[in-house]
Amino acid sequence: MENTQNIQNIVQQQEEESFDYKALFFKLYRYWYFFILTIFIALLIAFLFNKYTKSIFEVSTTVLISDDKGAMDAQQLLGFGLSNNMQNVENEIGKLQSYTLINQTIRQLDLRISYFEEENFVTKELYKNNPFRIELDSLHPQPVNVKFKLNFQDGNTYTLEAEGKGVKLYDFSEFKTAENTEDGTEINVSLDTTFAFGRYVSNKYFRFKVLVNDNYKPDVHDSKSYYFIFNDIGKLTKQFQAFTIEPIKEESSIIKITIKANNVRKSIDFLNTLTNVYLSRNLAKKNRVAENTIKFIDEQLGEISDSLDYAEDNMQ
């Protein structure tokens, strides 16, 4: 009797555990349009994300840190602290990330103006491939971080629009923020006019020319919108300080500089110029040391020569 009851319990449990997949399929099939709609929305989101999200590229370079061997310092004599090589690497990394070195790099690259292209809601920075260029009057202050929107009319004229409130002016002749106005009132920039290429666009807040570059093609560029911005070199310097530097291996004198940005060509030029400025500074420093050493030796030789002449006179 007990065995029969156990068999019945097992059969009942198996029946409870059985699942009607066919019935589930037909229930879900009734909402097939919902699954199609979900897949379509997911693909649309992925397409829009890939289309309108700016790509970020990683660019890197390596620099060999010269080991200037000198006298052993107090920390080494006491047996603690970083080794002379590691101290030198850390010091050179600090120099490469310094504000003054990066500021000099940006000035040498001439990043006073940034150019952009707008097409189908996508904004792309133009670097050394813009169809026009700005020739600014460096003696006149310019409004920074204001979008000057430009559209080609033909090869001779263009429209220029700009709107900005609470604008700051920048003096590119001295690379510093200029006094906005004599009475300290807020500056508002407003512009919507057609101009001829090669003529000054000016008022008391800005003065510059727009010139057409050799790569300008009417059939390509007339259908697109562009804008340019005058950059605050100080703020731009701080933005470019956001790169990483680290030795390629522990105790190595070769360091790797890595920067992440949207424009590959601009990043490559920045790293190349940064390393050139750094190496030029080191070379100038060594030249100054050599010149001072030669000057000191010449002075000492002059004094010794005078002493020898005096001794010779006494002997005679």
pLDDT in tens, 58-89: 999 998 887 655 444 444 444 444 456 777 88
- φ, ψ for residue 217, nearest 5 deg: -130, 115
Segment 3-19 shows an average pLDDT of 53
Coil, strand or helix at 157: strand
Q: What is the pLDDT of residue 49?
A: 67
Best CA proximity match to 232, nearest among 189, 173, 138, 169: 169
Structure-model confidence comparison of residues 46 and 127, the more confident one: 127
Neighbouring C-beta atoms of residue 84, cutoff 10 Å: 17
Q: What is the pLDDT confidence band of residue 152, given thresholds at 50, 70 and 90? A: very high
Between CA 171 and CA 166 the distance in angstroms is: 17
Which residue type sits at 210?
V
User: What is the per-residue pLDDT across 194-247, written as a single tens digit (0 to 9) for each?
Assistant: 999 999 999 889 999 999 998 888 888 888 899 999 999 999 999 999 889 988
Q: What is the pLDDT of residue 221?
A: 87
Q: Decide if 102 contacts 241 (C-beta within 8 A).
A: yes
% the chain with pLDDT above 70: 80
User: Can you read off the two tokens belonging to residue 296?
Assistant: 């000191």
User: What is the per-residue pLDDT across 115-126, written as a single tens digit (0 to 9) for each?
Assistant: 999 877 788 899
Between CA 192 and CA 151 the distance in angstroms is: 11
Segment 103-115 shows an average pLDDT of 94
Q: What is the pLDDT confidence band of residue 109, given thresholds at 50, 70 and 90? A: very high
CA atoms within 13 A on the CB side of 29: 6
Q: What is the pLDDT of residue 183?
A: 52
Which residue type sits at 142?
Q
Between CA 210 and CA 153 the distance in angstroms is: 13
> Picking from 9-13, 231-235, 281-285, which range would have the lowest pLDDT averaged per residue?
9-13
Q: What is the pLDDT of residue 79?
A: 45
Structure-model confidence comparison of residues 109 and 18, the more confident one: 109
Q: Among all chains, which residue has been given the structure tokens 């033909």?
A: 154
> Picking from 1-5, 189-193, 266-270, which range would have the lowest pLDDT averaged per residue?
1-5
Q: What is the pLDDT confidence band of residue 251, given thresholds at 50, 70 and 90? A: confident
Residue 94 reports pLDDT greater than 70: yes
Q: What is the mean pLDDT of the chain?
A: 81
What is the pTM assigned to this prediction? 0.74
CA angle 32, 37, 39 (to 5 degrees): 100
Structure-model confidence comparison of residues 21 and 113, the more confident one: 113
Q: Among all chains, which residue has been given the structure tokens 């010149």?
A: 291
% the chain with pLDDT above 90: 37
